[in-house]
Amino acid sequence: MTSIVIMSTIGTNLNWGASYLVNDFYRRFLRPGRDERHYVRASRWASLLVALLAAYLQGLLAEQATPRRLAAVVHNLAARQADREEPVWGPALKAAKDAAGAWTPAG
């Protein structure tokens, strides 16, 4: 039963990826106005492309799983991002204080 579920999930993702590539990108921007046979052939190539891309990306990840937890380890990822400081400016002083010098809700 588990293998049926896994194959269904894989097939769904391959079809979804190919459908997106062909209908939303290829047909719309690259080759509009072609016959349906052309788009069916393009869908087959797109399915192959999505499968190869998935296989390549799977090779970059190491899975660590327990029955209720799944974690992915990405290799060649920096352990820490460099620190950076960004100044944050509040509202203009005339909006932050009223005429008497008391703080307003904006301040």
- Rounded CA-CA distance 10/19 in Å is 14
Q: For 10-44, write each residue's pLDDT tens digit.
A: 888 889 999 999 999 999 999 999 999 999 999 99
Q: Residue 103: beta bridge partners?
A: 97
- Alpha helices, DSSP H only, in the chain? 2-19, 36-60, 93-96
Instruction: Report the C-alpha gap between 82 and 97 in whole angstroms.
Output: 37
The pTM (predicted TM-score) of the whole model is: 0.54
Confidence grade of residue 96 (pLDDT, cut at 50, 70, 90): confident
